[in-house]
Amino acid sequence: MILLDGKKTSSDIKDEIAVEVAKLKEQGKKAPHLAAVIVGNDGASLTYVNAKVKACERVGFESTLIRLSEDTSEKALLSQIDELNNNDDIDGFIVQLPLPKHIDEQKVIMAVDPDKDVDGFHPTNVGKMALNLPTFISATPFGILELLDRYNVETSGKHVVVIGRSHIVGSPMSILLSQKRKVGNATVTITHSRTQNLKKITLQADIVVAALGIPEFLTADMVKDGVTVIDVGITRIEDASKKRGFRLVGDVAFDEVSQKSSYITPVPGGVGPMTIAMLLKNTLLARKRRD
Amino acid sequence: MILLDGKKTSSDIKDEIAVEVAKLKEQGKKAPHLAAVIVGNDGASLTYVNAKVKACERVGFESTLIRLSEDTSEKALLSQIDELNNNDDIDGFIVQLPLPKHIDEQKVIMAVDPDKDVDGFHPTNVGKMALNLPTFISATPFGILELLDRYNVETSGKHVVVIGRSHIVGSPMSILLSQKRKVGNATVTITHSRTQNLKKITLQADIVVAALGIPEFLTADMVKDGVTVIDVGITRIEDASKKRGFRLVGDVAFDEVSQKSSYITPVPGGVGPMTIAMLLKNTLLARKRRD
In whole angstroms, give the CA distance from residue B246 to residue B241. 8
Report the pLDDT averaged over residues B69-87.
98
DSSP assignments along chain A, one per residue: -EE--HHHHHHHHHHHHHHHHHHHHHTTPPPPEEEEEEES--HHHHHHHHHHHHHHHHHT-EEEEEEE-TT--HHHHHHHHHHHHH-TT-SEEEEPSSPPTTS-HHHHHHHS-GGGBTT--SHHHHHHHHTT-S----HHHHHHHHHHHHTT---TT-EEEEE---TTTHHHHHHHHHSSSSS---EEEEE-TT-SSHHHHHTT-SEEEE-S--TT-B-GGGS-TTEEEEE---EEEE-TTSTTSEEEE-SB-HHHHGGGEEEE--SSSSHHHHHHHHHHHHHHHHHHHT-
For this structure, is B52 an active site residue? yes
Digit-coded pLDDT (tens) for B134-153: 999 999 999 999 999 999 99
Digit-coded pLDDT (tens) for A214-267: 999 999 999 999 999 999 999 999 999 999 999 999 999 999 999 999 999 999
For this structure, is B96 an active site residue? yes
**Pairing outcome for strands B235-238 and B246-249:** antiparallel
pTM score of the predicted model: 0.97
pLDDT at B217: 98
The neighbour count for residue B2, using CB atoms within 10 Å, is 11
| Contact check, Cβ <8 Å, B130/A171 | yes
Report the pLDDT averaged over residues B49-63.
97
Report the pLDDT averaged over residues B244-273.
97
The neighbour count for residue B200, using CB atoms within 10 Å, is 12
At B161, is the secondary structure helix, strand, or coil? strand
pLDDT > 90? residue A175 = yes
DSSP assignments along B57-102, one per residue: HHHT-EEEEEEE-TT--HHHHHHHHHHHHH-TT-SEEEEPSSPPTT
Residues of A near B (CB-CB distance < 8 A)?
106, 122-133, 156-159, 165, 167, 171-172, 174-175, 178-180, 185-192, 194-196, 201
Residues of B in contact with A126 (CB under 8 A): 126-127, 130-131
Cα dihedral across residues A201, A190, A179, A14: positive or negative: negative
* C-beta separation of B211 from B165 below 8 A: no
Report the pLDDT averaged over residues B66-83.
98
Residue B48: pLDDT band (50, 70, 90) is very high
Report the pLDDT averaged over residues B116-127.
98
The neighbour count for residue A34, using CB atoms within 10 Å, is 29
Residues 6+ apart with CB under 8 A from B15: none
Provide ipTM, 2 decimals.
0.97
Q: Which residues of B53-85 are buried (b: 16+ CB within 10 A; e: fewer)?
A: eebbeebbbbbbbbebeeebebeebbebbeebb
Could you tell me if residue A244 is left (phi over 0), alpha (psi between -120 and 50 degrees) or otherwise beta?
A: alpha
* C-beta separation of B226 from B203 below 8 A: no
Report the pLDDT averaged over residues A81-89.
98
CA distance B131 to chain A (A): 6
Residues of B near A (CB-CB distance < 8 A)?
106, 122-133, 156-159, 165, 167, 171-172, 174-175, 178-180, 185-192, 194-196, 201
Say what angle helices A139-150 and A6-26 make with each other, to 10 degrees. Answer: 100
Q: Which of B126, B165, B188 sits opposite A189 (nearest CB)?
A: B188
pLDDT at B214: 97
Looking at every residue in chain B, the average pLDDT score rounds to 97
Catalytic (active-site) positions of A:
52, 96, 119
The neighbour count for residue B255, using CB atoms within 10 Å, is 9
Q: Give the count of alpha carbons within 13 A of B143, CB side only.
A: 33
Q: Give me the catalytic one of B5, B14, B91, B96.
A: B96
The neighbour count for residue B244, using CB atoms within 10 Å, is 8
pLDDT at B60: 98
Report the pLDDT averaged over residues A262-289.
97
Inter-chain contacts counted by CB atoms under 8 A, chains A and B: 113
Q: Which of B125, B196, B201 sits opposite A157 (nearest CB)?
A: B196
CA dihedral A226, A249, A168, B196 (to 10 degrees): 10
| Contact check, Cβ <8 Å, A189/B189 | yes
Residue B200: pLDDT band (50, 70, 90) is very high
pLDDT at B291: 84
- Calculate what percentage of chain B has a pLDDT beyond 70: 100
At B272, is the secondary structure helix, strand, or coil? helix
In whole angstroms, give the CA distance from residue B103 to residue B83. 18
Q: Which of A167, A187, A194 sits opposite B156 (nearest CB)?
A: A194
B291 compared with A141, residue with greater pLDDT = A141
At B20, is the secondary structure helix, strand, or coil? helix
Looking at every residue in chain A, the average pLDDT score rounds to 97
Could you tell me which of A207, A282, A278 has the C-alpha nearest to residue A10?
A278
Report the pLDDT averaged over residues B108-124.
98
Residue A291: pLDDT band (50, 70, 90) is confident
Structural domains of chain B, with CATH: 28-114 (3.40.50.10860), 139-272 (3.40.50.720)
Q: Which of A130, A172, A201 sits opposite B171 (nearest CB)?
A: A130
Q: Which residue of A has its CA nearest to B178?
A: A190
Report the pLDDT averaged over residues B219-244.
96
